[in-house]
Amino acid sequence: MNVEANKVVSFHYSVSDGGSEPVDSSRERGEPLSVLIGHGNIIPGLEQALLGRAVGDRFEVSVEPAQAYGERRANFTQRVPKKYFDRGERLHAGDVTVLHTREAGPRTVVVLKVGSSVIDVDLNHPLAGKTLSFDVEITAIRDASDEEIAHRHAHGAGGHEH
C-alpha cells in the first residue's frame, strides 16, 4: 500500500528551520503523527513528499516557505483583548500561543507586548518565511474510515482525539 488521498499515514518526523536543533520532533514525543492524506491536514510541501511512499521509507525533504507556512508579512500585527487568549494573564513577550479567531479558527501567533488589558501579537506563524527540512520515516499506512473522511482528519493514536 502506498500513500495517497484518503489513506491514513503514520510517520515519525523531525523538522529543522536551519538551526542546529530541530524545532519539532515526533521522536521526542515518542509517538508517530497520524494524518489523513488529501484534506489539507499538513503543509502542502510535506504532503506532496509523502505521496507514493511505502511503510519503511525514510527520506529527507526541504520545503520552501510557499509550500510551508507562507512568507513573512511585514507589520502583520494586531492588538487583541486579553480575554481572547487562553491564560492571557500568564503571557510574556516572545511567547508562542494560540489565538482563537472567529474567521480563521485557531492561529499560532507570537506575543510582542503585553499591556494591562490587551496583547500585541505578530500574526505571522513562527515558521513563516522559513525553509523547513524534514526527516521522515513512514511507520504505517491504512485505509481511512468513512467517519475519518467525513471529519477530514485521522482518528486514534497520533491523530485527532474527540
Query: What's the rounded Cα separation, in Å, for the pair 75 and 139?
Result: 41
Per residue, the 3-state secondary structure of 28-42, as one string, reads: HHCCCEEEECCCCCC
List of residues 6+ apart from 90 with CB closer than 8 A:
none
Q: For 5-151, where are the E strands, in sequence order?
A: 7-16, 24-25, 33-36, 58-63, 77-81, 96-101, 105-114, 118-122, 132-143
- Of 122 and 148, the one with the shorter C-beta distance to Zn ion is 148
Q: State the minimum distance, in angstroms, from the CB of residue 50 to Zn ion.
A: 21
The span of 16-24, 62-70, 107-115, 145-153 binding Zn ion (CB under 5 A) equals 145-153
Q: Give the type of residue at 86.
A: D
Q: State the minimum distance, in angstroms, from the CB of residue 26 to Zn ion.
A: 20
Q: State the minimum distance, in angstroms, from the CB of residue 159 to Zn ion.
A: 8
Does residue 142 touch Zn ion according to CB under 5 A?
Answer: no
What number of chain residues touch Zn ion (CB under 5 A)? 1
Query: What's the rounded Cα separation, in Å, for the pair 135 and 1?
Result: 21
Q: Tell me if 38 sits within 8 A of 5, measured CB to CB.
A: yes
The span of 28-36, 70-78, 81-89, 149-157 binding Zn ion (CB under 5 A) equals 149-157
| Candidate residues 43, 151, 156, 158; the one interacting with Zn ion per rule CB under 5 A | 151
In degrees and rounded to multiples of 5, residue 50 shows phi and psi of -80, -25
Q: State the minimum distance, in angstroms, from the CB of residue 2 to Zn ion.
A: 24
- Of 130 and 153, the one with the shorter C-beta distance to Zn ion is 153
Q: State the minimum distance, in angstroms, from the CB of residue 39 to Zn ion.
A: 11
- Of 107 and 151, the one with the shorter C-beta distance to Zn ion is 151
CB-based closest residue to Zn ion: 151
Which residues form the interface with Zn ion (CB under 5 A)?
Answer: 151
